[in-house]
Amino acid sequence: MGESPRGSRAGSRDRASQNHSTSVERRPRRLGSLISQALSFDDDAYAAGEVGFLARALVQATMPHSDPKTNEFVRHNGHYTLSILAPKGVGLPYGRYPRLVLAYLNTEAVKRKTRHIELDHHFSHFCAGLGIPPTTGPRGSLPQLREQMQRLFASTFQCVFHDEEKGRHAGDGFLIAEKRALWWDPRRETGDASWGSHVVLSERFFREATEAPVPLDLRVLRALRSPFEIDIYVWLTWRFFRLRKPVTIPWDSLQLQFGCGYKNPRHFKRRFLKYLKSVISYYPDVRLTNHAMGLILKPSPTHVAPRASPMKL
């Protein structure tokens, strides 16, 4: 008899554990909850209708994890640089919420083949659909999500490739949305159902979002609680899609890409490995090793296998 999906996933998890160095073994304190959640994903993302997408430009380098208290932010990944500029009176997007919003917008653009993205009439429904329990009040999830969406849509993104040695330079800038209408009241769970909220993606971002997006499992995005964990997950599935031979990524390069705000490199490394453990619980087939010089990645299955065309789902 064939192996059950649950047994197959557990067997894969056991095999994968042999590929991780002891420094990235999963922490016992969170082991039960993480494994139980991961094992509940019996169907693959396509079968479950949970395939999402994210533009490569926002995977190679990412938004801030916490409020940078400034209106300009820069991250580097080799020759690639992502800079984000926000109006001073608005502020930069940061944290988990704008990442989930971007995945939603990107996925809708791929599936519906349109720049015009309709959002739910009720803010609380939209919030819950992102995997965020809707709560009100000054520190509730509804006002926080709305603020992060306003920051996201007001910001300008610049993607620059610069290789001084080879004399190459290229750049591109874009807004996420050229128009938006958000008719939600974060103080009420029902929101305003009289008008539909919608977003019109900028043409440049729409091309970036649909030409060759990174496929993701939306269930994992909703389950991961930290923006750092989300960044590691989407980065790993992107890297393993392209990886053909082992590569060592120095810790200082990873710090520039994921956490340039850390003053002490050891603090960054400790935090990175902590969040990597959580990601491995959902993505057990990764083959990697923690080395003093950096993180060694070995060719591994990508978490969500790409289809021939991401526009055909």
Structure confidence by residue, pLDDT tens digits, 90-114? 999 999 999 999 999 999 999 999 9
Is 191's pLDDT higher than 50? no
Answer whether 130's CB lies under 8 Å from 101's CB: yes
User: Confidence class of residue 21 from pLDDT cuts 50, 70 and 90?
Assistant: low
Query: What is the pTM (predicted TM-score) of this model?
Result: 0.83
pLDDT one-digit tens code per residue, 129-156:
999 999 988 889 999 999 999 999 999 9
Distance CA 93, CA 66 (A): 9
Write down the pLDDT at residue 136: 87
Distance CA 250, CA 163 (A): 19
Answer whether 54's CB lies under 8 Å from 205's CB: no
* Per-residue b or e along 61-98, where b marks 16 or more CB atoms closer than 10 Å to that residue's CB: bbbbbeebeebebebbbeebbbbbbbeeeebbbbbbbb
Residue 261: which residues within 8 A CB-CB, separation 6 or more?
A: 64, 65, 66, 68
Single-letter amino acid code for the residue at 283: Y
User: Confidence class of residue 168 from pLDDT cuts 50, 70 and 90?
Assistant: confident
Least confident of 3-7, 126-130, 141-145: 3-7
Give, in order, the Cα–Cα distances in Å from 64 to each of 71, 98, 276, 306: 11, 10, 18, 28
Write down the pLDDT at residue 312: 45
Distance CA 189, CA 124 (A): 5
Write down the pLDDT at residue 145: 94
